[in-house]
Each structure stands twice: as C-alpha cells, then as structure tokens.
Amino acid sequence: MARKAKLAYVLHEIAIGGAEVAFLSALPHLAKAFDLRVYILHSGSRALVDTIPEPLKKRLVFLNIPLFLYPLYIPLLATRILVFKPDYLICSLWRSCLAGCLVKRLNNSICYFPFIHSSIFFHKFDRCASVWAMRMADAVFVDSVSACDFVLKVGKVTDKPVPVISFLTAATPQDVPDYDFGQKHFVFIGRLHPVKNLQAAVRLVAWLRKQGVDARLDIYGRDDGDAENVAELVKKENMDPYIEWKGELLPSAKSALLTASNYPFYLQLSNAEGMAMSVVEAMQAGKVCIVTPVGEIPHYATDGESAVFVDHSSDEAWENAMQGVLATVVDMEKCARISQAAFGTFRERPLFKDSLIKAIHTKGHHSE
C-alpha cells in the first residue's frame, strides 16, 4: 500500500473566523487524504474544539504559545515540523508563516504553501512575515481574486503559482427561505473588531429609524477589541432597544441562523476584507446583503443586483449610500430580486475541501 503524503498545517488558533472555520470544514477530508499533523499556536475556543471528533483531535497539536514569547518558540515549532518530515506545509496567517519560512530554509524539499487571506497588511509584522513567505513559497494559496492580485503586486510573485482556493464550506441550499422583507431585521455575524466597522452598522440602523423604518440589528460574534466602542455608540444613538449583541456563534448554529427566515437582511460594512465568508454564506441563503465593496466582495456581488453597496469614505458618499439603502429596503419587489440573484451566485461552485486538496496535490498548478 502506497504511503500517504504527509501534510503539516499551521494555524494561529481554533476560533470563529473565516480561515479557521474553513479549515475545520476540511479537517476530516484532509485527514483522509494525507498523513496529517496540525500545529495550533494558541488554544482558541474550547467550545469549538469540543465539536471536533476525538479521532481528529489526535491530529492536532496545541502549542499554547504566549504571544510575547512567540519569537522564542519559532525554532521549537520549526523543529517539531521538521521531525514530522512533511511533504507539504501550509501556514495560515502571518505568525504561522514565520515558522514556515524557517522550515523551508532548513529543508528546501518540503513544498511550502503560505495561505494569504487578505488584500491588506494589518501591521508591519504582518507585512514582513507575509512577504518573506510569499518569496520562499513553492506556491501561494489565496482565498480570493483580490488576495491574488495583492500577492502578485506586493509580493512580486511572478515565478510560482498563486491558486485561488474556493472558500465555500457548504453547498448552496436548494431553496431560498421564505423571507418577509417587510420585517427590517438585519443580522451581522463575525468578530467585533475595528476592521469590521460595526460602528457604521449602528449608524446605518439609527439613520433608517430616523426615516421611520423599523430597523433592528442582531450582532453575533466574539469581542475582538471593538465591543466596548460599539456598545458606547449604541447607547449614544439611543439604539439599545433595537440593536442586540447575541454573543459568539458556533459554525453548526451559524448555518441554521443564516437560513432562518427571521433575518431578511445581512449587514457588514467592513473597512477591509478578504473573501468575507459571512457575506458569501448570507448570499447563499438569499439574504439582501448591505455591504461595503471591499476585498473580494465586488468580484462576486453587483450593486443593486445581488447586493447593496455602501460607500462610507466621506459624509456626502455616506448620505448618498443611505438614500440608496432606504430606497431598496422599502421596495419589496427589489428586495426579492436581489435575494434571488444572491442565492444563485455560488451555485455549482467547488467547496473549500475539494479545492484545497486539489491545489496541494498539484502544487498549485491547474487549480480553480
């Protein structure tokens, strides 16, 4: 019987986030296709870890590295990976890439695939680690066309494949939920981080209510540095009765929530995005998505056809965008058309697990 190829996969943590949830969706399939070892820098969400079946947990190595000690742990992590002797190494996000670069330098025969999930750098450490990884890689995996363009431009990657890995974790449902677009109930699912710009979402709901629209917003996600600021703005705008923070949502519950008919509208006004998986999943569920056209979003959504775009770059742009949002949410027929167009956008697209395994086997050549 032929030996399975060895795959080492390095993640920051097991948490509710696009990269992490996509990985978890592919974990059983990666474990079947490869001799798999997963190195996790930090512990992450215990509730999420508990959803992983015991046989798969044995593939995971939790390092629980304190962030301030991470530079000292890089050689230790690299050594553990080298002892495993992988054929392929995937490093997702910038801290993982530091260890990946060291492994590649010490053993050039290992196929190294850094996974880039954004079209911006969040800070100078991200820039240094990611660019170094791009230049040492055998192929650079990305989750979107916008991230691919970013890698080609910033990393000056012209001599290696940059495959776009499909980030769909589930197939599009058979039917659109029976939405009542008369209910102006919005939902957001994601981290409460400044880049998600939830304060703009609060302002949008407040603006609509001033126009006589009974707009309401439920926020699902973990605090990632911005919950206090959002709460202060909710209070300042007197939106406490209309905006609720529902806490973190496990992936198993997320699907049921997105296909629930009580949220006809999805709201996400991020300053920057990669693939924006929650937007993708909301579109798959036929929700009317009110979003900023950042990252990959303008590559898969069209303003006024399959989504509603909001420009918040200036006061004038914001006011114009709000008039467009108002005109859409009060027009039941237009909402229904946008819902149907969104629902059909991702039909017949490959899933993350299949796209990733194909890219690994082909070293990024001839992938989706």
For the chain, what are the domain ranges? 6-168+350-361, 185-344
Residue 1: the pLDDT is 59
**pLDDT value for 51:** 84
pLDDT single digits (tens) 26-38? 999 999 999 999 9
Secondary structure percentages of the chain, helix, strand, coil, to 5: 45, 15, 40
> Does 100 have pLDDT greater than 60?
yes
CATH 3.20.20.80 is right for the domain spanning 6-168+350-361: no
Q: What is the mean pLDDT of residues 197-226?
A: 96
- Asked if pLDDT for residue 86 goes beyond 60, the answer is yes
Band of pLDDT at residue 368, cut at 50, 70 and 90: very low
d(CA 26, CA 130): 23
Q: Of the spans 168-177, 188-197, 200-209, which averages the highest pLDDT?
A: 200-209
Place of tokens 């056209």: 293
Question: What would the DSSP string read from start to end of 29-72?
Answer: HHHHHSEEEEEESS---HHHHTTS-HHHHTTEEE----GGGHHH
| Alpha-carbon gap, residue 281 to 220, rounded angstroms | 14
Q: Which of 81-85, 167-171, 329-333 has the lowest mean pLDDT?
A: 167-171
- Weakest-pLDDT range from 171-180, 186-195, 308-317: 171-180
Is the pLDDT at 20 greater than 50? The verdict is: yes
**pLDDT value at 367 more than 60:** no
As a three-state string, the secondary structure of 185-216 is EEEEECCECHHHCHHHHHHHHHHHHHCCCCCE
Mean pLDDT of 188-192: 93
Once rounded to an integer, what is the mean pLDDT over residues 86-101? Answer: 93
**Superfamily of 185-344 according to CATH:** Glycogen Phosphorylase B; (3.40.50.2000)
Q: What is the pLDDT of residues 106-161, one digit of tens each?
A: 999 999 999 988 777 788 888 998 999 999 999 999 988 888 888 888 877 778 99
